[in-house]
Amino acid sequence: MENAHHEVICHLDRLLAERGMTLAELAGRVGVTVVNLSILKNGRARAIRFSTLTAICRVLGCQPGDLLTVTAGPE
């Protein structure tokens, strides 16, 4: 499993569109910078704090699995 390739896909764009919310509005309500949310949204984040994930899910009314999914590639 250590060498397994994986990719975490962030569905923030879709969730924001479904809720008619901007990235800036979400950032303000969650208490993080737009830059940090943009990094997450564009798939460049290497980590996310549980407190940030919890806040995003509360504001968007979703579960972590709605926001993030994992695809496993060939080993």
What CATH number does the domain containing 63 carry? 1.10.260.40
20: in domain? yes
56: in domain? yes
Residue spans of beta strands (DSSP E) within the chain: 6-10, 68-72
40: in domain? yes
pTM here? 0.86
75: in domain? no
Cβ atoms within 10 A of the Cβ of 8, count? 13
1: in domain? no
Range of the domain at 55: 6-70
The single-letter DSSP state of residue 32 is: S
Residue 8 has pLDDT above 60, yes or no: yes
pLDDT one-digit tens code per residue, 23-71? 999 999 999 999 999 999 999 999 999 999 999 999 999 999 999 999 8
Contact assessment for residue 37 and residue 23, using Cβ atoms and an 8 Å cutoff: yes
16: in domain? yes
pLDDT-derived band at 72, boundaries 50, 70, 90: confident
Overall number of domains in the chain: 1
